[in-house]
Chain A
Amino acid sequence: MTFTQDQSTVTEISPRELYARLLSAQPLFILDVRNEDEFKRTPVEGHATLRTLNVPYYDFIEDEEAALARLPKDVEEVVVICAKGGSSQYVAEVLNNHGYRAVSLSEGMIGWGNYYDVRDVTNAAWGRIVQIARPARGDLSFAIISDGQAALVDPLRHINVYRELIEGAGAKLTAILDTHVHADHISGGPALAKETGAPYYIHPYDAIHPIDMLPAVIAYEPLRDGQVFQIGQVRVTTIWYPGHTLGQVNFLAETPDGGRYLFTGDGIFLRSFGRPDLGGKGEAWTPILYRSMFERLPRYLTDDTMILPAHFSTLEEDAGNGIFAAPYKQVLAQNDSLKPRTLEEFTSYVLSHLPVFPPEYVEIKRVNIGLVEPCEGKANELELGKNICALAG
C-alpha cells in the first residue's frame, strides 16, 4: 500500500453530511482512529443505531492485519474520523484496499467541533425563529427575526454564522441576549457587540465571577426582571430564573399568531435541567433553583409554550427535524426532574445526579466576562467535547 499525502483517492464526508446521517438514525459505523484518551474524552455521539469503535491509526501503522481484525465484518460502510483529517484518510485508504467501503471525515474532529447547523424553528408572515446549533457540543442558540430587526439568544463563539444569517435575512441586529454567563462555552455576545454595535445584555448578578468574586470588564447592558424587547412584531420578556447561575434568565417570545417560545438557557432542558453547582456553591443555590423551577416557572408557562433550551444532551431529544424543542406539556411528561418534589427530595435528587465539575469551566467564565483573553488555539481547547451543564440522567 502506498500513501500519498497530497492526493488521495479516499472519498471524504463533510461535517454537514455526517450530521445529516447522525440525525437520520440510520445505522452508522464510525471508526475513530485517534488515541484512546482523545476518543474517550470527546467521542462522536448519535442515536442508538450508531456504532463506534476506537482503533488508533498507529495500530494500523504498527500491525495492519491485527488492526483490521478488530473491525466487524458486517459493516456496509465505515466513516473514519481522527483529530484533523489526515490519519483518517490514511486508515480509510487501508480499509478500501481490504474490501471495505470507507470514507474519511474532512477536517476531523476540529471541523466537526466547529460545525454549525442552522434551521428554522418557525417561519411565518411575522418573521422567523431560527435555531443555530453546534451539534458536537450539544450547544443551541437562536435568532428572532421580524420586520428587519433581529435579536440573538445565547450566540456561540463563531460569530460569522450569525452575521451571515442576519445579513442574509436583510435584518439589523438590535439586541444580543445571553440567558446567563456561560461556563461551558465561550459566548459570541461580546465580540458581536463590538463588531456590530448592538448592545450585549446579561443580568448584572452574572457579571461577577462567582468563584473569583471579580467584576466583568466587558461592556454590557444590565438586564432586569420583566424587561421587554420589541423585535419587529415579536415581544420578548425577560424573566429572572436564578439557580444555575444567580443571574440566569429566561426569555419569553410572543408572536402575533399567539405563539409562545421560551428560551430557557440552562434553566430547564428537554430531559434535564441546569446544575446549580457550577458557581461552587451548590448547596446554597439548590433551594434558589427549586423556587425558580417549581414556583416561578409554572406562572408563565402554558401547555403549548415551546421550550427552547441552550443545550441538548443526546440526539434522542431531536423533535424529528433537527430542532431541539418541545411544548411544555411534553417536556413535563418526559422530564423526570420536573416531577413534583419537596425541597428535601429535590436537594437529594440534585446532589445524587451531579456529574464531574470540569475544571476548565471556571476559566471559561473568566473569558466570558473579559477577565482573560484566550487565543484561538486556547479557545478551541477550552471548548473540547460536549457540554456538561445538565444533571446526569
Chain B
Amino acid sequence: MPHFDQTLDVKGAKCPMPLVKSRKAITELPVGKVLQVISTDRGSVADFQGWAKTAKNVELIAQETVQENGQELYVHYLRRTA
C-alpha cells in the first residue's frame, strides 16, 4: 500500500460520484499530497485511469482491489501534482 495523506470514502456511491468527489478532494489537497479513494464501484478502476491521463494536476500512483466483509473494494491513490 503506497503512503497517503488523506482518505476519501465513496463506498456505495455510483458513477459519476466517486470521480466528482475525488476531483473536489484533490483540489482541496496541498500540491504533492496523496489522496486514497475507497470505492465499491468496479467501473471506477478504468475510469480513474482514463481521468488521470487527461487531468491537469492528478497523477494516479496505484490502484488495488481488496476484500472487505465479502465485498470488493477498489482503492485508488492519487497525487496532486500542481
Residues of A within 8 A of B (CB): 3, 5, 35-38, 56-59, 61-63, 82-84, 86-87, 90
B15 contacts across to A, CB distance below 8 A:
57, 82-84, 86-87
Cβ 8 A contact of A61, one of B14, B23, B49: B23
Question: Contacts A83-B43, A84-B43 hold; do A61 and B50 have CB atoms under 8 A apart?
Answer: no
B19 contacts across to A, CB distance below 8 A:
57-58, 61
Using CB atoms, name the residue of chain A closest to B24: A61
A56 contacts across to B, CB distance below 8 A:
47, 50-51, 54
Using CB atoms, name the residue of chain B closest to A5: B17
Check B46 against A35 for contact (C-beta < 8 Å).
yes
A36 contacts across to B, CB distance below 8 A:
50
Q: How far is the CB of B8 from chain A (nearest CB, A)?
A: 15
Check A58 against B43 for contact (C-beta < 8 Å).
no
B51 contacts across to A, CB distance below 8 A:
56, 58, 61-62
Listed from nearest, the 8 A-B pairs whose CB atoms lie closest are: A58-B51, A35-B50, A87-B16, A86-B15, A90-B16, A86-B14, A87-B15, A35-B46
Beyond the given A56-B51, A57-B47, A62-B51, please list 12 additional residue pairs across the A-B interface where CB-CB is below 8 A.
A3-B20, A36-B50, A56-B54, A58-B19, A58-B50, A58-B51, A58-B55, A61-B19, A84-B14, A86-B14, A87-B15, A90-B20
B3 within 8 A of A: no
Q: How far is the CB of A63 from chain B (nearest CB, A)?
A: 8
Using CB atoms, name the residue of chain A closest to B50: A35
Check A58 against B46 for contact (C-beta < 8 Å).
no
Cβ 8 A contact of A35, one of B14, B23, B47, B55: B47
A90 contacts across to B, CB distance below 8 A:
16, 20
Check B54 against A62 for contact (C-beta < 8 Å).
yes
B54 contacts across to A, CB distance below 8 A:
56, 58-59, 62
Q: Is the interface of B mostly helix, strand, loop or mixed?
A: helix
Interface 0/1 of B22-39, CB less than 8 Å to A: 010000000000000000
B47 contacts across to A, CB distance below 8 A:
35, 56-58
User: CA A225 – CA B66 in complex, angstroms?
Assistant: 53
A37 contacts across to B, CB distance below 8 A:
46, 50
Using CB atoms, name the residue of chain B closest to A36: B50
Q: How far is the CB of A39 from chain B (nearest CB, A)?
A: 10
Question: Contacts A57-B16, A82-B15, A83-B15 hold; do A62 and B50 have CB atoms under 8 A apart?
Answer: no
User: CA A57 – CA B50 in complex, angstroms?
Assistant: 10
Using CB atoms, name the residue of chain B closest to A62: B55
Question: Contacts A36-B50, A82-B15, A86-B15 hold; do A61 and B43 have CB atoms under 8 A apart?
Answer: no
Check A61 against B46 for contact (C-beta < 8 Å).
no
User: CA A5 – CA B10 in complex, angstroms?
Assistant: 13
User: CA A214 – CA B17 in complex, angstroms?
Assistant: 46
Interface 0/1 of B47-59, CB less than 8 Å to A: 1011100111000
Q: How far is the CB of B14 from chain A (nearest CB, A)?
A: 5
User: CA A240 – CA B46 in complex, angstroms?
Assistant: 45
A38 contacts across to B, CB distance below 8 A:
46
User: CA A82 – CA B51 in complex, angstroms?
Assistant: 15
Q: How far is the CB of B15 from chain A (nearest CB, A)?
A: 5
User: CA A84 – CA B20 in complex, angstroms?
Assistant: 16
User: CA A3 – CA B15 in complex, angstroms?
Assistant: 12
